[in-house]
Amino acid sequence: MTVTHAAVPATDRTPAAEPADRPRHRPGRRRALGTAAFHTGAGLLSLIWLIPIAVVLVTSTRSFDDIAAHGLGGLPHSFTLDGFRQAWVDGGQQRALINSMLVSIPTVLLSLLLASMAAFALSRYDVPLRRVLLLVMLSGNLLPPQILLIPVSKLSEQLGFYDSLYALIGVQVGFGVGFYVFVLHGFMRAIPPEIQQAAVIDGASPWQIYHRIILPLARPALAALTALSFTWIFNDLLWAITVLRTDSKMPITASLIGLQGQYVSMWNVIAAGSVIAAAPTVIVFLRFQRHFVAGLNLGAVK
């Protein structure tokens, strides 16, 4: 007996016909387009950011006659550093820059010293109500400074520090320590406790642990805060005009206002004064740039 099998349709025995070739996605091409678009956008934003700086730099090296003849936005037809001399000597920028340095440098050092000691105690030891203390320190930075202008001015008068650089240093330290403690507390808390325990076993005192172990490990965070705090304090204007009255004691940000009043239409002198005022913060940032980026990266990872 022969067994016959039912015929199987050809469509069941043969694979379906391959569809026409469809355009495939090219992730490499998309990635290249995305990269090109990102760099183009970043370049345009950088150009928009740098154009005013370039205009100020060019204006500071032009003569007054050139600006008067061709306009502030015209192409430069002269090159002179006389604007810097007038701003530095006649405009009082030299004295104002010294005042800013006398305020900024001690304030940064004292603020970071106090903040690092407080952050070390709050992060490495079981201090009672440490969360409350952190919240109190942080809440002081959340208050608008405008509502504290009159109380701070009256308090400095009663303490006998009004119209002195000591008053400005005290105000800057008082309003900056809370934020610095909050940042350093989070950084120091992430340091492994085994390091401190090993130091305690070796007989190290709390001061030695703080000075020889914690501070070197927190150097990236301290460098980042140094750059930020110096920029904030050096560029501050509000507290300077609140606790200071004498022109000879004003920092460089306040002296720019007087420079604009003294040289109303001499834009080359005003631009030169602006360059002088911006130079120290740029130098500090470039000096701490590597540590600043490292501190940001460590903070993001932890």
Domain segments of the chain as ranges? 34-80, 92-301
Looking at the predicted structure, is the pLDDT value of residue 5 above 60? no
Confidence of residue 302 (pLDDT cuts 50, 70, 90): very low
- pLDDT tens-digit map of 221-276: 898 899 889 999 999 999 999 999 998 899 999 988 888 888 877 889 999 999 99
DSSP 17: P
Model confidence, pTM: 0.80
Q: Are 167 and 156 in contact (CB under 8 A)?
A: yes
- pLDDT tens-digit map of 204-219: 888 999 999 999 888 8
Looking at the predicted structure, is the pLDDT value of residue 194 above 60? yes
- pLDDT tens-digit map of 17-42: 445 455 555 667 888 888 888 889 98
Number of helices and strands (H, E) in the chain?
16, 0
Higher-confidence residue of 8 and 191: namely 191
Q: What is the C-alpha to C-alpha distance for residues 134 and 123, in angstroms, rounded to an integer? A: 10
Q: What is the C-alpha to C-alpha distance for residues 208 and 99, in angstroms, rounded to an integer? A: 35
**Mean pLDDT score, 152-177:** 91
Question: What length is written for the chain?
Answer: 302
Looking at the predicted structure, is the pLDDT value of residue 115 above 90? yes
Question: What is the topology classification, in CATH, of domain 92-301?
Answer: MetI-like fold (1.10.3720)
- The share of the chain scoring above pLDDT 70, in percent, equals 87
Mean pLDDT of the chain: 84
Q: What is the C-alpha to C-alpha distance for residues 208 and 135, in angstroms, rounded to an integer? A: 28
4: left (phi over 0), alpha (psi -120 to 50) or beta: beta
- The share of the chain scoring above pLDDT 90, in percent, equals 35
